[in-house]
Amino acid sequence: MKPPDDKTAGSSSATPEPADSDPRDTGLPLLRTWRGIYLFVFGCFVLWVVLLTMLTMIFP
């Protein structure tokens, strides 16, 4: 008799991942890849820096 696999032993309630899932997939509807998330965060950072710079020029 073959011993049970450690991953499945005692975890009958855990659902396994689908075999066709991409490990790079984020599960978000708009930002599907981690590269997209990083670019979005970097873009938000640049936007805030530009806005803060413009506001300091307008309201010295």
pTM above 0.75, yes or no: no
pLDDT of residue 26: 85
pLDDT reading at 40 higher than 90: yes
pLDDT of residue 13: 57
* Average pLDDT of the segment spanning 10-34: 72
More confident residue, 1 or 24: 24
| C-beta of residue 32 within 8 angstroms of C-beta of residue 25 | yes
Domain ranges of the chain: 32-60
pLDDT of residue 11: 54
Distance between CA atoms of 56 and 13, rounded to whole angstroms?
Answer: 56
More confident residue, 9 or 23: 23
